[in-house]
């Protein structure tokens, strides 16, 4: 491992100011009130760290947006992109191109069951949209079921399918989506006390929802295998198998969204491997090439692929399986296999992250719950452990001075870049993170949680 300190860029506050000024003048940012944000300028990144132009180093416990599963600037992936650019930088999708064929082969080799055909997209939202289109054409049915606590993307149909409140502003109601409650024991909708109760009641609720919607009107049921953005709720044992059984009973296409949970994040190649459940379609993006070049896709079962054997699939993208993105995927998957990245996430998750977070929870009254697996963990921060009242959400537009913002600022002051959503901080470092880096991160988290404790 090259020492991160060796690659630290020279501090250059003037250059940083120029980057920020151009950004503020011309870049229109996602999910933001443009006048109320102050995006930090990034000078460089390597492994689990990045630097600003003032020379400050941050340990990235967010993996960007949970995508740099092998960390920043991995030399083998950078070299593969350079090599692909030098030989065949781009080519149209309707050709067989080595990088694309090889990426599809490597992905299909790792996806569960017979999900052996890969439709490439540019990211996660379009993967979700195409999976739903495939399901509708395969079944001839219109509706989609998805969970309230979910995120499936920011394009029109993907945002309609999404359950989290970011849907409200853009939902045009046109996607025929019916939302349901998936398991979440800490804030159970089913008055459950145990995982068994939560699982059984969530399945009963789902079957009732299917019955009242009319099974013959439902094309697809989509779930994040482990809901990510909404709070990293690892489903109770038996839930996904139960959903699989309901989909089989009613002829519904079961789509697992592994855009965030896939490619090592949970300590398995895919989160579906945690339960052994095989969906009919599986979406992926992010970790497939650690986000070095935009790429996503849908892994398709034999039965659904056959639907489009003699009849055309009516959909496609100019950059489907772009050679640069696929070369990055081939290199990333090979790095993950050669360097034992999935095993690293599984082992350090179980032996280091879980115990360290539980230890922090014992000492900090602001921690309401610790949950997760692999390099995919959430701390739920509360004002009161008994009532479970959440700490005020961090929101750049509305609550810049709220407790979660104070918590975030303290983490950053200690050199830790956190992933904060509502009243949660997610611990989602690269799957290549080392034990020493984790310990450095937990020391910063410890200090930041003391700030959160002041609001309990």
Interface positions with ligand PMP (CB under 6 A): 65, 123-125, 128, 151-153, 224, 228-229, 257, 259-260, 285, 296
Q: Given the complex with ligand PMP, which of 242 and 287 has the nearer CB atom?
A: 287
CA distance 258 to 124: 9
Least separation in angstroms between residue 36's CB and ligand PMP is 22
Quick one: 192 or 223, whose CB is closer to ligand PMP?
223
Report the nearest approach of ligand PMP to the CB of residue 155 (Å).
Answer: 7
Half-sphere exposure of 162 (CA within 13 A, CB side): 25
CA distance from start to end of the chain: 41
User: 68 or 229, CB closer to ligand PMP?
Assistant: 229
Torsion angle in degrees (nearest 10) through CA of 256, 333, 373, 352: 180
Nearer to ligand PMP, 294 or 368 (CB): 294
Query: Least distance (Å) from ligand PMP to the CB of residue 65?
Result: 6
Cβ 167 to ligand PMP, closest distance in Å?
Answer: 13
Instruction: Considering only CA atoms, give the Rg of the chain.
Output: 22
CA–CA dist 427, 289 (Å, integer) = 20
Closest C-alpha among 259, 235, 266 to residue 376: 266
Helix (H) and strand (E) counts in the chain: 14, 16
Nearer CB in complex with ligand PMP: 147/247: 147
CA distance 10 to 399: 34
Which CB sits closer to ligand PMP, 294 or 403? Answer: 294
* Smallest separation, CB 417 to ligand PMP (Å): 17
Q: Are the beta carbons of 107 and 299 closer than 8 angstroms?
A: yes
Give, as one character, the DSSP assignment of residue 189: S
d(CA 113, CA 302): 9
Beta bridge partner(s), residue 326: none
Dihedral sign, CA of 88, 94, 98, 100?
positive
- Phi, psi of 120, rounded to the nearest 5 degrees: -90, 140
Q: How far apart are CA 236 and CA 202, in angstroms?
A: 10
Cβ-closest residue to ligand PMP? 124
CA contacts within 13 A on the Cβ side of 358: 10
Q: What is the dihedral of CA 122, 182, 61, 64, to 10 degrees?
A: 20
Residue nearer to ligand PMP on the CB measure, 257 or 273: 257
- Least Å distance, CB 444 to ligand PMP, is 24
The least distance separating ligand PMP from the CB of residue 232, rounded to whole angstroms, comes to 11
Q: How far is the CB of 13 from ligand PMP (least distance, A)?
A: 32
Closest to ligand PMP by CB, 72 or 151: 151
Residue 57's H or E segment, with its range, is: strand 57-60
Report d(CA 124, CA 442) in Å as an integer: 30
> What's the rounded Cα separation, in Å, for the pair 190 and 204?
10
- Of 164 and 440, nearer to ligand PMP (C-beta) is 164
Q: How far is the CB of 255 from ligand PMP (least distance, A)?
A: 11
The structure tokens listed for 310 are 């003699």
Shortest separation between residue 285's beta carbon and ligand PMP, angstroms: 5
- Cβ proximity to ligand PMP: between 256 and 406 the closer is 256
């Amino acid at each position: 491992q090259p020492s991160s300190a060796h690659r630290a860029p020279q501090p250059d506050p003037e250059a940083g100011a120029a980057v920020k000024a151009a950004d503020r003048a011309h870049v229109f940012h996602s999910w933001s009130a443009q006048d109320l944000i102050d995006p930090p300028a990034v000078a460089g990144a390597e492994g689990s760290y990045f630097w600003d132009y003032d020379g400050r180093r941050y340990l990235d416990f967010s993996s960007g947006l949970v995508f740099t599963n092998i960390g920043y600037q991995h030399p083998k992936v950078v070299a593969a992109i350079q090599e692909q650019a030098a030989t065949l930088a781009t080519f149209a999708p309707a050709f067989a191109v080595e990088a694309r064929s090889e990426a599809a082969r490597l992905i299909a080799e790792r996806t569960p069951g017979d999900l052996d055909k890969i439709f490439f997209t540019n990211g996660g939202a379009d993967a979700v949209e195409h999976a739903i289109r495939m399901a509708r054409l395969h079944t001839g049915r219109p509706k989609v079921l998805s969970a309230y606590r979910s995120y499936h993307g920011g394009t029109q149909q993907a945002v309609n399918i999404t359950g989290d409140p970011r849907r409200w502003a853009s939902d045009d109601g046109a996607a025929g989506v019916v939302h349901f409650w998936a398991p979440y024991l800490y804030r159970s909708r089913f008055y459950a006390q145990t995982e068994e109760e939560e699982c059984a009641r969530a399945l009963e609720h789902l079957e009732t929802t299917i019955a009242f919607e009319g099974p013959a009107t439902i094309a697809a049921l989509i779930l994040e295998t482990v809901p990510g953005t909404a709070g990293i709720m690892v489903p109770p044992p038996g839930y996904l198998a139960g959903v699989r059984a309901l989909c089989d009973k009613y002829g519904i296409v079961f789509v697992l969204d592994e855009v965030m949970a896939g490619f090592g994040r949970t300590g398995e190649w895919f989160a579906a491997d945690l339960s052994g459940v095989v969906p009919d379609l599986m979406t992926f993006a992010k970790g497939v090439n650690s986000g070095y070049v935009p790429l996503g896709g849908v892994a398709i079962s034999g039965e659904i692929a056959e639907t489009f054997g003699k009849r055309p699939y009516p959909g496609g993208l100019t950059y489907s399986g772009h050679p640069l993105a696929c070369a990055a995927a081939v290199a990333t998957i090979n790095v993950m296999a050669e360097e034992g990245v999935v095993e690293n996430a599984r082992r350090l998750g179980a032996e280091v992250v879980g115990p360290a977070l539980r230890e922090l929870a014992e000492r900090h009254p602001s921690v309401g719950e610790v949950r997760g697996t692999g390099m995919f963990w959430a701390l739920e921060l509360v004002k009161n452990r008994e009532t479970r009242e959440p700490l005020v959400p961090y929101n750049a537009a509305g609550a810049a001075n709220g407790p979660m913002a104070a918590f975030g600022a303290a983490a950053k002051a200690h050199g830790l870049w956190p992933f904060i959503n509502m009243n949660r901080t997610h611990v989602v470092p690269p799957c290549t993170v080392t034990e020493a880096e984790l310990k450095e991160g937990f020391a910063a988290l410890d200090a930041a949680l003391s700030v959160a404790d002041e609001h309990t």
